[in-house]
Structure 1
Amino acid sequence: MFGGRNLWESVLPLFSSKKFCKFQKASYVDVSMRWKKDPFFDSIDILSKPRELRPLCSLKNIIIKEPDKCIPISALSKRGRELEISGRVASFLRRYPAVFEEFRGPKHNLPWFRLTPELIDVDQEEREIYLRRGPEIVSRLQRLILMSKTKMLPLRIIQGMLWHLGLPEDFLKNPEGTSDGLLRMVEMEDGNQGLLAEIHSNEQTLSALQKTAMKMGKNGPIAFSLFPSRGLRLKKKIESWLDDFQRLPYVSPYEDFSNLDPNSDVSEKRVAGVLHELLSLFVDNSAERRRLLCLRKHLGLPQKFHKVFDRHPHVFYLLLKSKTCFVVLKEAYYGCSTSEIETHPLLEVRKKYAKLMIESDAILRSRRSNKPLVKIEHENDC
């Protein structure tokens, strides 16, 4: 009953017909809830240092390309803004002794840095995974592009999403040659270059929510899996609104939404579904909230789409780290047995990078206290 073709044949006529308009009510309820800290997410290594992990990997990529796999600090000291490092680059490198090893260079007695053996092993594992499963990773970019209104995205937007999707920093130098026919370079209306997602006319792209509903054999409108944080209670009025919201028709991020009233509850459910699907494509199913703003126009999101995160705390968690706000998809961490969110091929590698960062903290504490290093195991994944 829930085969892909049968599901779409039964649902799509509803969306394309005039009858769908009667579901588009605008009974907005002012959902106002206080943010509730969830210690579970603070205990996950890969989410503990979200802003530092990206520049750390960029520095790793720079150093490993050097002939001797080492580099003087003078070659990096002026690249802090480019690498999004606040403060001195040398201080950042010294903050992670389990990743970067400092030594005196062959000339002028200047500080040089090389990668630790442990880091080199993880880097090699990352490269091997990409060689084996590259098309699978590229398909995530294809799905992101298919979520856009025109089925294409500018290269500058895609460049900002490469880290989240697990693609190499130099991917856009030859996207067609490494995408196995999934992507094609095009010139957009504004004169900029972009990527167009190719898809066969008889193929249907299902979202993670649709796949989960099919797996669970649920009838009726597709609903979000809810994961309340401990101590987070909703008022009765909001609970009633949420029940009604869950029963609304679900519009897939890959479907045409031009017939939707932007002020309707159905439109809000679509926006929540787009953000759910977007985060499900990312390596660690999270992202800095401000970095999603560049996708707003292309994915058909309202100007204040970030309010969806506040209105749906059972679906999204706002993680406050490093003086900024990250949004985390709860289902990826709580719904392991029932969710159809696919684990990213590079997730385990990113966890290993994060673990080396945590070990660096322990090494620095050991040095300051002159006490032997004690390794502590982290991770609270399902």
Structure 2
Amino acid sequence: MASILFGQRNLCVFPLRRHILDEVYQHGPYNCTIQRRWKKPVDSARTRLEGRTRDHKLDKLMIQLKNLRLALDLHELISQQRNKYASLQLLSRWRHEVGLNIEIGAFLKKYPHIFDIYVHPIKRNECCKVTPKMSELIAQEDAAIRENELAIAKRLKKLLMLSKDGTLNMHALWLVRRELGLPDDYRCSILPNHQSDFSLSSPDTLTLITRDENLAVADVEEWRAKEYTEKWLAESETKYAFPINFPTGFKIEKGFRGKLGNWQRLPYTKAYEKNELHPIRNIERLEKRIVGILHELLSLTIEKMIPLERLSHFRKPFEMEVNLRELILKHPGIFYISTKGSTQTVLLRESYSKGCLVHPNPVYNDVVALMKWTVHFGFLRSTIRKADASNGRLLASLAEAAFLTGLEKNSWNPDAIVFNSWQQYGTHILATLMRWLHLQSPGKTLRYLSESKGCACMRWRRLGLASDFSVKNRMSDL
């Protein structure tokens, strides 16, 4: 009956929407347009990466580290010059080699504490050199690396013990030298001092000579022992468990906790154990072993992070021949992939708290000291404390002017600071001067000359001027 009613001859009974039925019969009732609505959504590593829960504090850290790397690359280029300076015209040619997507002059002026821009007295062109304070901080970092030679050798030894046959390609080691805290000349400065532990069997292969079983203890094993003794947990709950720390806003679906508990209790061959002794035929146990190897590899780095693309050089020697990005995205409580900083970087979540490393080391402390000099204060614009400079205290007005000049990227925001001090002091000079400082002069600092007199001095060197403002107020006015 239905075939007769909806036949092609009886379509005149339904004059409305006849053209729609014609298209259906012309291309078939299951054409591509109709099937597209019923298509199952794609679930891949790329879609999971785009839909993951973001950790904004770690993303902000990666942006700061990117700016630090750019500044260090420019420092290296400038230091290679004969007189330790370079013209802005020459630096602009190296802009793309360093990775800058803005003008070189705009980048250098963001960091006046790192780069000193001046006019050459003879050539009369703008040149740039690194400030003495920045050079001192970089020298301190190099000295910290040299002083930790034994720790570096221990780290290299554990890294070779993770590999299948105790060997690593020198090119792969060179790519992660900064993450491991190795000096650039480690091949000449460190390896010859530890010939009983390492050997270069070929020019491009580093081989471990002696295996130290005392070092075959993963970082997660120490965490498990601490959890077992301090929190009185059952051995079955901690023997194969990993520390879990989900980002803020992570959505826990129904049944997720049960699956996570079963995965935590799943036994596996640990990182420093040979896989040949305990062959794994279960895919879940194999993936958990790879998670353990990745966890230990990140624990051996200085900043507990490593670029995702460089992990591909360790897939074969560490027997991690799976899709690493997909595996990492399966465990958001252990790892985090940040796409900030023009690259995808894997971070160990348990090692960070509020965007800072929980257990820093001397080399990391020097990196943090360098990073503080490259923080672009424009990112703090929405979080700074708003203040009124016309509250009747001249010293507070000068302090706010000096403070907000760096934070507001040399742009006057009336909501942040009000320049109507003439209403309080009866003069337009101070208001005009503060506005000029705020708009025109970058790099101002506020100094306390002495607490007894309570004086404040604001100095700037924009046009070769120098001015001191001394006010006999109490320091509590700040």
- Equivalent in 109, 112, 123 of residue 97 of structure 1: 112
- Which residue identity is paired with 1:96? Y
CA distance 1:110–1:169, shift in 2 (3 Å)? farther
Q: Within 5 A, what are the aligned runs for 1:300-315?
A: 300-315=319-334
Name the SS for the 1:114 alignment partner.
strand
Q: Which of 203, 218, 221 does residue 210 from structure 1 map onto? A: 221
> SS at the partner of 2:148?
helix
Which amino acid is 1:242 matched to?
Answer: L
Which deviates further from its counterpart, 197-206 or 266-275? 197-206
Deviation at residue 178 of structure 1 after TM alignment? 5.0
> Which runs of structure 2 are paired with 1:1-382 in the superposition (5 Å)?
34-42=51-59, 46-64=61-79, 68-73=83-88, 78-79=93-94, 83-86=98-101, 92-105=107-120, 108-179=123-194, 181-187=196-202, 193-200=204-211, 202-217=213-228, 219-220=235-236, 221-258=239-276, 259-261=278-280, 264-334=283-353, 343-358=360-375, 363=406, 365-369=408-412, 371=438
CA-CA distance at 1:307 after TM superposition: 1.3
Distance 1:315 1:374 in 2: 43
1:286–1:200 CA distance, 2 compared to 1 (3 A): closer
8 Å contact from structure 1 (residues 288, 325) kept in 2: yes
Runs of 5+ consecutive residues of structure 1 not aligned to the other structure: 1-29, 376-382
- The amino acid across from 2:62 in the alignment is L
Aligned to 2:306, the other structure's residue is in SS state strand
If you compute each CA radius of gyration, which structure gives the higher value, 1 or 2?
A: 2
The structure-2 alpha-carbon separation of the partners of 1:373 and 1:204, relative to structure 1 and needing over 3 Å to count, comes to closer
Match of 2:453 in 1: none
CA distance in 1 between counterparts of 2:208 and 2:377 reads 41
Partner secondary structure for residue 150 of structure 2: helix
**Structural RMSD (CA):** 3.4
Cα separation, 2, equivalents of 1:364 and 1:67: 35
Classify 1:133/1:307 alpha carbon distance in 2 versus 1 (closer, same or farther; 3 Å). Answer: same
Unaligned runs of 5+ in 2: 1-43, 230-234, 379-404, 413-436, 446-478
Deviation of 1:224 (Å) = 0.5
Q: Is the 8 A contact 1:181 1:198 kept in 2?
A: yes
Which shifted more, 62-71 or 274-283?
62-71
Q: CA deviation at 1:110?
A: 3.9
| CA shift for structure 1 position 193 | 1.6
TM-fit CA distance, 1:128 = 2.6
Q: Deviations over 1:168-187 (max 9, x none)?
A: 22323444135575432221
Q: Indicate conservation of the 8 Å contact 2:108/2:115, yes or no.
A: yes
Q: Deviations over 1:269-316 (max 9, x none)?
A: 111111111111222212222232222222211231211221111111
> Are the counterparts in 2 of residues 315 and 330 from structure 1 also a CA contact under 8 Å?
yes
Which whole-Å CA distance do the structure 2 matches of 1:204 and 1:244 have between them? 29
> Structure 2 length as normaliser, TM-score?
0.61
Contact 2:71 / 2:374 at 8 angstroms: preserved in 1?
no
C-alpha separation in 2, matches of 1:80 and 1:185: 37
> Which residue of structure 1 lines up, in the alignment, with residue 429 of structure 2?
none
> Residue type of the partner of 2:375?
I
Q: Structure 1's 323 and 156: CA in aligned 2 closer, same or farther, altered over 3 A?
A: closer
Residues 201 and 130 of structure 1, relative CA distance in 2, 3 Å threshold: closer
Structure 1 residues 199 and 70: alpha-carbon distance in aligned structure 2, compared to 1, 3 A threshold: farther
The amino acid of 2:156's aligned partner reads L
Specify the code of the residue in structure 2 equivalent to 1:211.
E
